[in-house]
Amino acid sequence: MASIFSRIIAGEIPCYKVGEDDRFFAFLDINPLAKGHTLVVPKCEVDYLFDLDDETLAGMTLFAKSIAAKIKATTGCKKVAMVVLGLEVAHAHIHLIPMNTENDVDFRKEKLKLTPDEFSEIAAELSK
Ligand code: 5GP
């Protein structure tokens, strides 16, 4: 069965898309730690990030870099954290999280509750 992220990429499940190219897809995390919290995923469905072939892993990092630049410019954060963790979804993903303090990247924190309009506004800004 396709992962939830493959179904998002295929357009079967809606998302707030931030960007894509032929190999990678970026969209807002539905349970964000901060406004602009984005997930970057490969279009090929591989569970474990380090099982990606070298070229795909390198390409995914460069794709994440381009999205991180937009997150930084749009949110004005000090840095964008790049985090790989979690066992919930068996489809490799990188979290990009706007960061002003290290506490901003604490996954035990309560997640933001954003309205659909807020998600849409952020996604529109990031996809410019
Ligand atoms: P992890 O495997 O990193 O623990 O969790 C997967 C991440 O994907 C979580 O941060 C979760 O909020 C996010 N997520 C899970 N399902 C969906 C979804 O259907 N849409 C979006 N946009 N994000 C999701």
Residue 84 CA to ligand 1 centre (angstroms): 12
pLDDT averaged over every residue in the chain? 97
Residue list, ligand 1 pocket, CB within 6 Å = 4, 13, 15, 27-31, 39, 86-89
| 15 pLDDT higher than 90 | yes
Check: pTM over 0.95? Answer yes or no. Answer: yes
Cβ count near 52 (within 10 Å):
16
Domain segments of the chain as ranges = 4-55+67-126
Q: Render pLDDT for 41-97 as a digit per residue (tens, 0 to 9).
A: 999 999 999 999 999 999 999 999 999 999 999 999 999 999 999 899 999 999 999
Active-site residues, by number, are 93
Which amino acid residue places its CA nearest to atom 20 of ligand 1?
Answer: 30
Which amino acid residue places its CA nearest to atom 13 of ligand 1?
Answer: 29
Choose the residue to mutate in 88, 94, 113 for probing ligand 1, maximizing ligand atoms within 8 Å of C-beta: 88
Q: Return the exposure string of 6-40: e unless at least 16 CB atoms fall within 10 Å of the residue's CB, then b.
A: bebbeeeeebbbbbbeeebbbbbbeebbbbbbbbb
Class assignment of domain 4-55+67-126?
alpha beta
Residue 114 CA to ligand 1 centre (angstroms): 15
Query: What number is the average pLDDT over the span 26-54?
Result: 98
Residue 51 CA to ligand 1 centre (angstroms): 20
Percent of the chain whose pLDDT exceeds 70: 100
Q: Atom of ligand 1 at shortest distance to CA of 87?
A: 2
